[in-house]
Amino acid sequence: MGEEVIWKGVTKKGVNPGKATILALGKAFPPQLVMQEYLVDGYFRSTNCDNPELKQKLTRLCKTTTVKTRYVVMSEEILIKYPELVTEGTPTVKQRQEICNEAVTEMATEAALGCIKSCGGSLSDITHLVYVSSSEARLPGGDLYLAKGLGLSPDTQRIMLYFAGCSGGVAGLRVAKDIAENNPGSRVLLATSETTIIGFKPPSADRPYDLVGVALFGDGAGAMIIGSDPILEYEKPLFELHTAVQEFLPHTEKKIDGRLTEEGISFKLARELPQIIEDNVEGFCDKLMSVVGFQNKEYNKLFWAVHPGGPAILNRIEKRLDLLPDKLSASRKALMDYGNASSNTIVYVLEYMIEEALKTRKDGRGDPEWGLILAFGPGITFEGILARNLCA
């Protein structure tokens, strides 16, 4: 692996023994691709709504989200089979769960199989499963149905993270890191799967904030394989996970508020959410950066893999940390191509980061070795991982 330089106890090249690494990524999507420019007419037509004011508002929101395309489970066939989904006030949580349970398992299975294939290993290598979703609620949980669908061994150790929202992907990565580092030789499959059907509703003047979700959120699944001490003959480590931190902001639990009701999940996002994240992101990042000796304000020496909760959040982070325009390009591209797909989106961001790193290396330009993987979810909860890009 060539010469190694030690810096505050870590190697600058190669993989550090015992440290968890991301060994492979995978993703999957439902078949319906929605172009943002056609979303408004399609949504109002399918929900039998003719409210010009709400239609105009959604049109404005669709332009400000910067989303261009998204994948969704919802289809004309589903609405024909379940017309009550667009009837205001009708108890539909049972119907929604029927759709969601099948969809999230199918997408997670596809993403996981693609990830395992990319890793170069086999199903028998998987020792642990971490499953993340905010789109289902059942016993046994989606982790069991995913393990069964994949054909994993019955003694595979499983854990579920339910209703962690947008921070779920990085939370799952934190848990997978701990498992991998405390179980030498283990290979942890992290799978995330989400669909907006659990909260799909017709437009209503009484719920104007629902339109933000219509304009922003998408469906899909993501997968990663995490393990320490990779077998370099056939495993290709992508990122090394050095230090993981979780922190919640006191007295902010109502700023991202979700309730499971008879009509599915209802969400409320506080208008001041981007400002709250901006006010607290600097101190959170400084805490992670100090672990390996970065000084405060050296933000542009890092790569940034940030969950794109929305353009306002990305803009606020960029402004507060005085980041160069290209630092959040992977996050902005993931938002543009997939929307905010909740816990899945960090997988898509990391995939774009690898593409960027390989391109800059091919062009002979350097790419930051160290960086931060960040997400923000209900709590308000900050999830962060100090990582090394092994593709740089």
| Separation between Cα atoms, residue 15 and residue 8, nearest integer Å | 15
Active site residue 166: yes
How far are the Cα atoms of 8, 290, 302, 378 from residue 295, in angstroms, in the given order? 13, 7, 12, 29
Residues 6+ apart with CB under 8 A from 190: 130, 132, 172, 173, 176, 223, 224, 225, 226
Which amino acid is it at 384?
G
State both tokens at 99: 């759709």
| Separation between Cα atoms, residue 20 and residue 187, nearest integer Å | 10
Query: Largest Cα–Cα distance in the chain?
Result: 67
Query: Among residues 62, 115, 166, 391, which one is catalytic?
Result: 166
| Separation between Cα atoms, residue 390 and residue 392, nearest integer Å | 6
| Separation between Cα atoms, residue 113 and residue 122, nearest integer Å | 9
Runs of H (alpha helix) within 273-344: 273-289, 311-321, 329-338
State both tokens at 205: 């003047």
Which amino acid is it at 333?
K
Which residues does the annotation mark as catalytic?
166
